[in-house]
Amino acid sequence: MQKLTDKAVEIDRSPMTFSERAYLPAIAKGLGTTIGHIFKKKATVRYPEQKRPFSPVFRGLHILNRDENGAERCTACGLCALACPAEAITMEAAERKPGEENLYREEKYAAKYEINMLRCIFCGYCEEACPKDAVYLTETVMPTNYNREAFIYKKEDLLIANPKNKESK
Ligand code: SF4
Ligand code: SF4
């Protein structure tokens, strides 16, 4: 009969030998493979007691930075939101009032700033786009949650603590 493809494999239908019928050589071969793995370097770790080191290029949770005087660096320019391929960043700009120079570094600041971590792909484009060194991706792994709302990180969640407040304590 003509073959439909050249991938057909001939099946050996010759009768099994005594050792094949006893299965013992096959069992010994299988055990040999198992025992061989005992002496190999383990591919797994005992998490959470043991943790693997992060890759040097790991990108985790974002922070919004302050300057050396504790003022917010973000000027709500929107470049991070523009660079974000996942459209995860939204913000609302506001104008700084006289007397607020210690709070906001520039004349404009982000009254609202949100990152939807369910959309974020941790590409780091927002960090690269920021002209004010305001947004950074840290080595903190995103905590899990059952509530979708908890993944919308607001400005209060992202902004680092004011170092000036620590000094005054
Ligand atoms: S890391 Fe990438 S996806 Fe996440 S907010 Fe920044 S630009 Fe958007
Ligand atoms: S984080 Fe940086 S890029 Fe984004 S709005 Fe603020 S200043 Fe602009």
Question: Which residues, other chains included, contact 106 with Cβ-Cβ below 8 Å and sequence gap of 6+?
Answer: 75, 96, 132
Calculate the average pLDDT of the chain.
92
Q: What pLDDT band is residue 21 in, cutting at 50, 70 and 90?
A: confident
Please write the tens of the pLDDT for every residue from 55-69. 999 999 999 999 999
26 within some domain: no
45 within some domain: no
Tell me the C-alpha distance between 148 and 151, whole Å.
6
What is the best residue among 87, 133, 135 to mutate for testing ligand 2's pocket, by most ligand atoms within 8 Å of CB? 135
Query: Are the C-beta atoms of 62 and 137 separated by less than 8 Å?
Result: yes
Domain that holds residue 138: 62-168
For residue 167, pLDDT beyond 70: no
Question: Which of 120, 116, 108, 125 minimizes the C-alpha distance to 153?
Answer: 116
Query: Are the C-beta atoms of 109 and 78 separated by less than 8 Å?
Result: no
23 within some domain: no
Q: Which atom of ligand 2 is nearest to the CA of 132?
A: 7
Phi–psi pair at 152, nearest 5 degrees: -90, 105
What is the best residue among 66, 67, 77, 106 to mutate for testing ligand 2's pocket, by most ligand atoms within 8 Å of CB? 77
Judge if the upstream peptide bond of residue 143 is cis by omega within 30 degrees of 0. no
CATH of residue 91's domain is 3.30.70.3270
Tell me the C-alpha distance between 79 and 73, whole Å.
14
Please write the tens of the pLDDT for every residue from 72-130. 999 999 999 999 999 999 999 999 999 999 999 999 999 999 999 999 999 999 999 99
Phi–psi pair at 139, nearest 5 degrees: -95, 15
**Number of folded domains that form the chain:** 1
29 within some domain: no
Q: In angstroms, how far is the first alpha carbon of the chain from the final one? A: 91
158 within some domain: yes
Q: Which atom of ligand 1 is nearest to the CA of 59?
A: 1
For residue 157, pLDDT beyond 60: yes
35 within some domain: no
Query: How many other C-beta atoms are found inside a 10 Å radius of the C-beta of residue 142?
Result: 14
Write the Ramachandran bin of 46: left for phi over 0, alpha for psi from -120 to 50, otherwise beta: beta
For residue 43, pLDDT beyond 90: no
Position 169 scores a pLDDT of 45
57 within some domain: no
32 within some domain: no
